[in-house]
Structure 1
Amino acid sequence: MGELEDVKDLLPANASISDTRYEASDIVIYTDSKEFFLDHSEAVRKIVSNLKKRVEVRPSSKLFSKPENAEKKLKDIIPSEAGFDEAIFQPSLGKVIIRAEKPGRVIGNNGRTLDEIKKKTLWAPQVERVPAIKSKIVDRARELTVEDPEFRKDFLHDVGKKIRRGDPPEDEWVRVGGLGGFRQVGRSSVLLQTEQSTVLMDAGINPSAEPGTKDNFPILNAPELDLQDLDAVVLSHAHMDHCGMIPYLYKMGYDGPLYCTKPTRDLMIMLALDYIGIAHQENQDAPYDSSAIKKAIKRTITPDYGEVTDITSDMKLTLRNSGHIIGSSLCHVHVGEGIHNVLYTGDYNYDKSEMLRPADTNFKRVETMITESTYGGKDDRQQPREEAQKKFLSKMKQTLSKGGKVIVPVFAIGRSQEILGMLADELDRDYFDYPLYIDGMIKDANALHTAYPEFLSKKVQKKIFQEENNPFTNDQLHSIGSNSEREDVIEGGPSIILATSGMLTGGPILSYLEALADDPKNTMIFVGYQASGTLGNKIQQGRSTVNINGKRVDVNLDVNTVSGFSAHSDRQQIINFSKNLRSSPNRVLTNHGEESKCFSLASTLHKVLHIDTSAPQNLDVNRLN
C-alpha cells in the first residue's frame, strides 16, 4: 500500500481525506472538505508529477447532498436546451452520471456549468450522451454499465492492488501464442505471456464453423492458458469473431478485468444478448447466458484512446483508433521496463471512410506487430472509395428504375453505417423517391453510434451535432421489426434493403433472400467479406441454387460485389501502415486471414521491410525477445 501512503504525504494538511483507493491503475481520493473538493488542481498536479498516475478527487458521503435535493439543483442548473434525460447517483463512488441529449450544454463554456454543478451539489459529475434514436437494446446495455457500483469500487481497488504487486522477474521473457484466428478468419484469440503476467487479447467465435463444434470457438483448453491465473483480457473491437466468447471466459471461472473502449463494451453487450436470443430461436444451446454478460460488464475498464493504462505488474496497455468500426482499437502492450513492445492490430482500416478516421500509426515503440491479413493476398486490391460508391449507386439506380429491389447483406456494426453514411446525401436528391429499409440489429447499432459521435469522423460528427442530414435519422430510413413488416417490404415496390447477417449465416437477410432470389429484376450487392464455407461466399462464387431453412432456392437475381467499402485494409494499405508506423517493427506475425493470404502477406512484408516475418498457426508459440 506504499503508493497510497505516498499520496497522503503529498496532500495539503487541509485536504481532510476520508479514504484513498485504487481504481485499477488510477488513484481516487475521497475528501470531507468542500474547499479541497472544489479546488484541488494544484495538489493533484503534484501527485501526478511524483507518482506518474492519474488521480481523481471525489466527495465523501459526508459532503455530497441527498440525491433528491441534488437532482432538483441539476434541473435548475442545466439549461433546457441540453435535453437533460436522467441522473444516476452512485453514493459509494461519490459520482452522479448525468445523461443528456447535448452533453456540451451540460459541461458549458470552459466547463463552467459543470463547475456550478459540483459547487451546488457537491457530487462529482460524469456526463454521457443520450442516443438520438430510441433503442431498448441500447437502453439495456447502458443499464448494465452502471449496475452495482459498490461491487465495482471494491473490484477496481483489488485490481489496483494486483497491478502493483509482484517482485522483479528472474528471467525477462515475452511470448505470444495463437488460440484462434491464425491462418483462418474467425475465433480470434491471442495469448501474451511473461514470467509475471498472462493476458488474453480477444476471444471470438468462428462464423463459418458449425455452431457448437470445437472449430466454432477459440482453443481455450490450450496448456498455456489457465483462466484462474489469467490477469487481464483485452478486447480490440465488438465483432463476434473477436468478442463472441468473452462472456464464456467469465462463465468458466475468469474473474478479472476486461479492457476495451466504451463503444466496444456497449456493442459487445448487444451482440452477446443477440447471440443468445438467436441460439434459443434455433433451438440451440448458447455457450453462456445473460448472467455471464453481466459478470463481464461489471468488470470492464474503458480507457480512452491514447491513455496508457497498467493492466498487470509488468504490462501497460494503450488503445488507439483502428478505423475498423466505432470504438475499435489497435492494442499496444509495453512490457516491463521497455524490454518489448507488442502491437496487436485486431482488424484495422488504413484508409479514409465515411464514418471513421484511418488507423492511427502514432506508436513510439513497436518491436513485434501481429497484423490481420484478411485482404493480404497478392491479388487483394480494393476499389478506391470513389469508384466503389459510383459502382454501388449505379447498380442501385439501375435496379430501382426497372422496379427491382436492392438487397445488401451487412454486418450490423460497421458496414451498415458506412453504407448509410454514403446514402445519406443520396436520399435528398430529386431522383430518389424510394424507401430505405434496415432490418436486424442495425437500428440499435445506429442508436449507439449517435451516443458516441466523438469516435466518428469529423464529417459525421458535424452532421450529428448540427442535426442536419444525420445519416441515422433520415425520414426515408425505416426500421423493420416484425415478420409482418418484413412481408410488406417483400411484397412492396422498389426499395433498398440493408439486413443482417453480413455473410448470410442467419438473421432476417435469409427471409429476403428466400423470397426475392428467384426474380432477376432484383440485385444483391455484397459489401463485406464472405468467409469460405458461408452461404454468402457460395452465392458470391456463383452458386445458382442454395438451401435456405431446408428449402431449395434458385438464385436468379443479379449478384454483385463492391469491395471499396471494406472496413479492412487491403494488401497495399497494410504495407503502407507498416511503413508509416512511427516506430518500425522488428518482427511481424500475420493472422486473421485465409492460410494462403497469411503466408503471402508475411512474405511480402519480409521483402518490403527487411524484417523477420512469419505466419504461425493456432497453438504455435513464439518467443519475442
Structure 2
Amino acid sequence: MTRTYNDVSAKIRETIVEHMPKDAEITRIEFEGPRLAIYVRNVNLLSEQSYVVTEIVNLLHKRIVIRSDQSIRLPEREAEGYIRKLIPPEAEVTGINFDPSLGEVVVEAKKPGVAIGKEASVLQQVVKETRWRPRILRAPPLHSKIISSTRHILHTESEERSRILRDVGERIFRPTFSKAGYVRLVTLGAFREVGRAAMLIQAGDSTVLLDCGINPGAQDPSHAYPRFDADEFDLEKLDGVVISHAHLDHCGILPFLYKYGYDGPIYCSEPTQVLMTLHQLDYLDVHSREGEHSPFDQKDVREVVTHTIPLRYNVVTDVAPDIKLTLHNAGHILGSSIVHLHIGEGLHNIVYSADFKFGRTMMLDSAMAQFPRAETLIIESTYGGPDDIMPDREGVEGKLVSIVNETAEKNGKVLIPVPAVGRAQEIMLVLDAYMKNGALRELPIYIEGMVNEATAIHTAFPEYLVRDIKEQILHQDLNPFQSEYFHPVTHPGDRDEIVAGGPCVIIATSGMMEGGPAIDYFRRLAPDPRNTLAYVSYQVEGTLGNRIKNGLKEVSLFGPDGKMEMVKCNMRVESIEGFSGHSDRNQLLGFIKRMMPKPTRIIVNHGERRKSELFAQNVNRIFGIKTVVPDVLESLRLR
C-alpha cells in the first residue's frame, strides 16, 4: 500500500515529538527547504539545539533547525535595542533586519567573529534575551550594491520566501511510488561545444537540472540557449536546478525558467547566488543599451534571488526524493563548485566538474578531487586539446609584467579585457604584487565596469579565498583589493581623462569584448600602435575578442554619437595563456589520475567538438576508462 504525504509527515512528527524534551512546548513543525524547522516556546532549546537535535537527525537523516515560536519573541524594536547593547562596538554592526516568518534576526557586521563572541557567547546571550535566532553576516569591506540588494529582497520577501521553502521541503520529502532503479543523463547544451551548459539528471521520480547557461558567442539563435524543447524537459517535474558557478554560460538563462512558470529551488554556493545576480542584471543592462530583446526581465531575476537556497561546501543536502547534493570547491572562480550527486540508496554517484582549476592560483585553492563515491565523471574539456598546455605560472606572470613595462616605455596604455568575476581579481592581485616588489613599473590601474562590484563581493566571502588572503582580510585588517594602485572608475565621463593621460593599465569588462566598457576603451585606444590589448581569458569562437585575437584589423563599432564607425586596430595584441580559471590538458588528466575513487565511466563536455573528441580518446587510452562524448539532445542511461 502506498503511503500518502500526510502519512509520511505524521511519521516524522511522531519521531520528533517522541525524542524532543518533554518541556519543549512544540507549537509547529514545518518543512523549510531541505531541512525541518521545529518551533518551540522553551527558549533554552534555542541555545542548546545541537545537543537536542543530534539524535533526531540520526533517526530521520534530515537536517533540523529549532526556531522560537512567535509568541515568545520580543518586539522587533525592543529586540534590536538588546542586540546593540549585547554585541561589542568593535564588531562594527552595519545593519539589523528581522525575519518574522522564520524568527531570525540578521545582523551585518564588519567583524563577524566579534559579533559571535568566544564560543558563540554573544549569540547565546542574544537568543536568551530576545528569543530571536541570530544569523551573523559579514558586511563587505567594500560596499556592494548587489549584496545589499539581495539581502533587501530576502528581507522584504520573507513571507514569500517562507512559502517557497515549505513547498520545496514538501516536494523533496514527498512519498515516491518506487525507489530509483535507473539513472539517465539528457544533454541540453555544452556538449561538443562551449557555452549554454545544461543537462538533466533523471532518477526514478526525481529530476534535477545541472546548470542553465547561454552561449555568448552564438550567431545562430538556435544555439544560444539550452534545448528546453527536449521531450524529457518538463518544468512541472523539475525538482531543482543546481548552478555550478556564476558565469553566464552556466547561469545566464536561469531567470527565463521563472518567466515560464518554474517555481522550484536553485542550489548553489553563497557567493554564486550573489555573483549570478550581478551577471544576470548586467545581461539585461547590455541588451537594453543595445536595443536588443532579452528573454527575461528584472522581475524574473528577483524570482531567482527568492528561490535560491545557498549551500556550503562539503555539506550533504537532500534536493529530491532520490538525490542528495554536495558542492565541493572547483577553484575556477569565487564560489565555483564541483557537483556531487548521490542517487538512491547507493544506486549511483555522479561527479560533475563544470569549469574547474586543478591547480592553485594567487586567489583560489585547487579543485577538490576526493569524493565519497563516484561511478560517473562528467568533465569539461575547454583546454583538452593536445596543444592546450599552459606555461608555468611564473612565466605567465613574467610575460604580463614585460608587456606592461614595454608598453609603458612607449608611453602607451594596456587594456586588459576581463570577465568581471575571477580573472579580474586574479590580475589585480598579480599586478599589485609585482608593483610592490619593484619588478613592474608603478602605474595607475583603472578598474572599470562590473569589476568594481565583483571585487567588493570577493571581499565579503574571504572564507572562499586562499589562506593567506583570507588571513589578511579576517585577522590582519588588510585588504589586498584596496591597493593604492587601484583606481575605481565610477563614471563613463572619466574615460576621457584616462585616455588623454599617461601610461596606465585599464582592467575592464567584458572578457570576450561582447559589450561593456572594454569596447569603448578599445575604440579609443586601438588606432594608436603604442597601446596594447592583452587577453588573459578564453575567447569563444565567434566573439569580437576571438576575431581580434585572430588578426581582425578593422572593427565596426558605434561611436559616441550613436553612429557606426570603422575602427582600425593598430594596437599591439597579445594573448597570455596561463591565467585561465580552467584546467589545461595536463591538469585535466592530473585530476582524473588523482581523483578518488576512480570513476567507471567518463563523459566529456564543455569543449570545442574536436578538442572534446581528442581528449576523450586520450583519457580512454591512458586510463582505460570508458569515455564518451555525447552530442546535444542525447540521452544516456548511466545505470
Question: Residues 425 and 469 of structure 1 are in contact (CA less than 8 Å); yes or no, is this contact kept in structure 2?
Answer: no
Question: Match for residue 290 of structure 2?
Answer: 282
Give the CA deviation at 1:467: 5.3
CA pair 534-356 structure 1, distance change in 2 beyond 3 A: same
Write the distance in 1 (CA, Å) between the matches of 2:177 and 2:369: 31
Question: Match for residue 4 of structure 2?
Answer: none
Give the CA deviation at 1:317: 0.5
Q: Deviations over 1:143-191 (max 9, x none)?
A: 2233322222222122212212233537711110111111111111111
Instruction: Output aligned runs, 1:114-129, within 5 Å.
Output: 114-129=123-138
Question: Residues 147 and 298 of structure 1 are in contact (CA less than 8 Å); yes or no, is this contact kept in structure 2?
Answer: no
Question: Match for residue 152 of structure 1?
Answer: 161
Write the distance in 1 (CA, Å) between the matches of 2:374 and 2:565: 52
Give the CA deviation at 1:565: 0.8
Question: Match for residue 251 of structure 1?
Answer: 259
Question: Residues 93 and 110 of structure 2 are in contact (CA less than 8 Å); yes or no, is this contact kept in structure 1?
Answer: yes
The answer to whether 1:230 aligns with 2:238 is yes
The answer to whether 1:48 aligns with 2:57 is yes
The answer to whether 1:445 aligns with 2:459 is no
Question: Match for residue 487 of structure 2?
Answer: 478
Instruction: Output aligned runs, 1:95-244, within 5 Å.
Output: 95-169=104-178, 172-210=181-219, 213-244=221-252
Question: Match for residue 362 of structure 2?
Answer: 354
Write the distance in 1 (CA, Å) between the matches of 2:166 and 2:421: 33
Give the CA deviation at 1:427: 3.8
Select which of 528, 537, 551 maps to 2:565. Answer: 551
Question: Match for residue 603 of structure 1?
Answer: 617
Write the distance in 2 (CA, Å) between the matches of 1:329 and 1:147: 29
Question: Residues 391 and 562 of structure 1 are in contact (CA less than 8 Å); yes or no, is this contact kept in structure 2?
Answer: yes
Comparing 174-183 with 153-162, which one deviates more in the overlay? 153-162
Question: Residues 141 and 270 of structure 1 are in contact (CA less than 8 Å); yes or no, is this contact kept in structure 2?
Answer: no
Give the CA deviation at 1:31: 0.8
Question: Match for residue 541 of structure 2?
Answer: 532
Select which of 74, 86, 94 maps to 1:85. Answer: 94
Question: Match for residue 454 of structure 1?
Answer: 463
Give the CA deviation at 1:79: 1.4
Question: Match for residue 621 of structure 1?
Answer: 635
Write the distance in 2 (CA, Å) between the matches of 1:623 and 1:15: 48
Select which of 604, 618, 622 maps to 1:590. Answer: 604
Question: Match for residue 311 of structure 1?
Answer: 319
Question: Residues 415 and 534 of structure 2 are in contact (CA less than 8 Å); yes or no, is this contact kept in structure 1?
Answer: yes
Question: Residues 424 and 470 of structure 1 are in contact (CA less than 8 Å); yes or no, is this contact kept in structure 2?
Answer: no
Structure 2 residue runs without a partner (length 5+): 1-8, 559-563
Question: Residues 14 and 36 of structure 1 are in contact (CA less than 8 Å); yes or no, is this contact kept in structure 2?
Answer: no
Give the CA deviation at 1:141: 2.8
Q: Deviations over 1:70-105 (max 9, x none)?
A: 111111111112110111101121100000111111
Write the distance in 1 (CA, Å) between the matches of 2:301 and 2:133: 28
Write the distance in 2 (CA, Å) between the matches of 1:595 and 1:453: 37
Question: Residues 424 and 469 of structure 1 are in contact (CA less than 8 Å); yes or no, is this contact kept in structure 2?
Answer: no
SS at 2:66's partner residue?
strand
SS at 2:72's partner residue?
coil
Give the CA deviation at 1:12: 1.3
Instruction: Output aligned runs, 1:62-73, within 5 Å.
Output: 62-73=71-82
Write the distance in 1 (CA, Å) between the matches of 2:47 and 2:181: 45
Select which of 371, 374, 380 maps to 2:382. Answer: 374
Question: Residues 219 and 542 of structure 2 are in contact (CA less than 8 Å); yes or no, is this contact kept in structure 1?
Answer: no
Percentage identity across paired residues of the two chains: 40
Give the CA deviation at 1:505: 0.9
Question: Match for residue 338 of structure 1?
Answer: 346
Q: Deviations over 1:349-391 (max 9, x none)?
A: 0011011111011211111111111000011011111111111
Question: Match for residue 565 of structure 1?
Answer: 579
Aligned length: 624
Select which of 409, 428, 439 maps to 1:401. Answer: 409
Give, as a single letter, the amino acid of the residue that structure 2 aligns with 1:130.
A
Write the distance in 2 (CA, Å) between the matches of 1:24 and 1:437: 43
Write the distance in 2 (CA, Å) between the matches of 1:459 and 1:607: 40
The answer to whether 1:261 aligns with 2:269 is yes
Instruction: Output aligned runs, 1:377-526, within 5 Å.
Output: 377-429=385-437, 432-466=441-475, 470-526=479-535
Question: Residues 49 and 65 of structure 2 are in contact (CA less than 8 Å); yes or no, is this contact kept in structure 1?
Answer: no
Question: Match for residue 561 of structure 2?
Answer: none
Structure 1 residue runs without a partner (length 5+): none
Question: What root-mean-square deviation, in Å, do the aligned CA atoms of Structure 1 and Structure 2 show?
Answer: 1.5
Give the CA deviation at 1:202: 0.7
Give, as a single letter, the amino acid of the residue that structure 2 aligns with 1:561.
S
SS at 2:70's partner residue?
coil
Give, as a single letter, the amino acid of the residue that structure 1 aligns with 2:611.
K
Give, as a single letter, the amino acid of the residue that structure 1 aligns with 2:217.
S
SS at 1:117's partner residue?
helix
Q: Deviations over 1:568-621 (max 9, x none)?
A: 000110111111112111111111110011101111111111111111110011
Give the CA deviation at 1:222: 1.0
Write the distance in 2 (CA, Å) between the matches of 1:438 and 1:287: 30
Select which of 19, 30, 37 maps to 1:21. Answer: 30
Question: Residues 180 and 203 of structure 2 are in contact (CA less than 8 Å); yes or no, is this contact kept in structure 1?
Answer: no
SS at 1:348's partner residue?
coil
Question: Residues 180 and 205 of structure 2 are in contact (CA less than 8 Å); yes or no, is this contact kept in structure 1?
Answer: no
Q: Deviations over 1:424-481 (max 9, x none)?
A: 2234356743210011100000111111111111121122224565222122211113
Question: Match for residue 45 of structure 2?
Answer: 36
Give the CA deviation at 1:398: 1.4
Question: Residues 45 and 52 of structure 2 are in contact (CA less than 8 Å); yes or no, is this contact kept in structure 1?
Answer: no
Give the CA deviation at 1:328: 0.6
Comparing 553-562 with 566-575, which one deviates more in the overlay? 553-562
Write the distance in 2 (CA, Å) between the matches of 1:166 and 1:152: 24
Give, as a single letter, the amino acid of the residue that structure 1 aligns with 2:212.
A
CA pair 263-617 structure 1, distance change in 2 beyond 3 A: same
Give, as a single letter, the amino acid of the residue that structure 1 aligns with 2:416.
V
Comparing 195-204 with 132-141, which one deviates more in the overlay? 132-141
Select which of 2, 6, 9 maps to 2:15. Answer: 6
Question: Residues 204 and 322 of structure 2 are in contact (CA less than 8 Å); yes or no, is this contact kept in structure 1?
Answer: no
